[in-house]
Amino acid sequence: MKQIVVTGGSRGIGAAIVRRFAQAGHMVAFTYRTGEKEAEALCAETGAVRVPCDVRDEQSVQRAAERVLSLFHRPDALINNAGAAQQGLVETMSLTEWNDQLAVHMTGAFLWSRALLPVLRGHGGSIVNVASIWGLTGASYEAAYSAAKAGLIGLTRALAREEAPAVRVNAVAPGVIRTGMLDCYTPDDLKALQAEIPLDRLGTPEDVAAAVYFLTSEDAAYITGQVLEVNGGMHI
**Of 131 and 181, more confident:** 131
Banded pLDDT at 40 (limits 50, 70, 90)? very high
Pick the CATH number of 3-227 from 2.40.10.10, 3.40.50.720, 3.40.50.1970, 3.30.1370.10: 3.40.50.720
pLDDT digit string, tens, across residues 69-96: 999 989 999 999 999 988 899 999 999 9
What is the 3-state secondary structure of the chain? CCEEEECCCCCHHHHHHHHHHHHCCCEEEEEECCCHHHHHHHHHHHCCEEEECCCCCHHHHHHHHHHHHHHCCCCCEEEECCCCCCCECHHHCCHHHHHHHHHHHHHHHHHHHHHHHHHHHCCCCEEEEECCCHHHHCCCCEHHHHHHHHHHHHHHHHHHHHHCCCCEEEEEEECCECCHHHCCCCHHHHHHHHHCCCCCCCECHHHHHHHHHHHHCHHHCCCCCCEEEECCCCCC
Catalytic center residues: 145
In this prediction, what percent of the chain has a pLDDT beyond 90? 87
Q: What is the pLDDT of residue 183?
A: 77
Q: What is the pLDDT of residue 178?
A: 87
Banded pLDDT at 115 (limits 50, 70, 90)? very high
Q: What is the pLDDT of residue 39?
A: 97
In this prediction, what percent of the chain has a pLDDT beyond 70? 100
pLDDT digit string, tens, across residues 217-233: 999 999 999 999 999 99
pLDDT digit string, tens, across residues 180-229: 777 777 888 889 889 999 999 999 999 999 999 999 999 999 999 999 99
Q: What is the pLDDT of residue 113?
A: 98
